[in-house]
Amino acid sequence: MGAAVIGRRTFDLGVGPWGGTFAFDGLRAAARRAKDAAGDKDVLVLGAHVAGQLLKAGLLDEVRIHLVPLLLGRARRCSPGSGPS
């Protein structure tokens, strides 16, 4: 990864501890700046809303979705003796 474009909520949650430089450009300007900064490396997009905006504007070349299964409801043991339920 050579650069990142993040949404406002992601910025508010954690960019302070990460360090780096920040620019509050418009969508197209932010994508262009990130691409220029990344050079030959990838640009990471963090935030579902900003990713959707970039996709709608035709500014994404590739989308990778990380699916995390989530079990809702009462907890249950995966196997007998695996701890409290």
pLDDT digits (tens, 9 = 90+) for 34-79: 999 999 999 999 888 898 999 999 999 888 887 777 666 665 555 5
Q: What is the DSSP-derived secondary structure letter of residue 7?
A: -
Q: Is residue 83 part of a domain?
A: no
Q: Is residue 42 part of a domain?
A: yes
Q: Is residue 84 part of a domain?
A: no
Q: What is the largest CA-CA distance in the chain?
A: 55
Q: Is residue 69 part of a domain?
A: no
Q: Is residue 78 part of a domain?
A: no
Tokens of 54: 């970039």
Q: Is 27 in contact with 59 (CB distance < 8 Å)? A: yes
pLDDT score for 65: 80
Instruction: State the total domains in the chain.
Output: 1
Query: Using CA atoms, how far apart are residues 77 and 84, in angstroms rounded to an integer?
Result: 7
Q: Is residue 29 part of a domain?
A: yes
Q: Is residue 71 part of a domain?
A: no
Q: Which of 27-31, 61-65, 71-75, 81-85 has the highest mean pLDDT?
A: 27-31
Q: Domain range holding 40? A: 3-56
pLDDT for residue 31 is more than 80 = yes
pTM of the model as a whole: 0.66
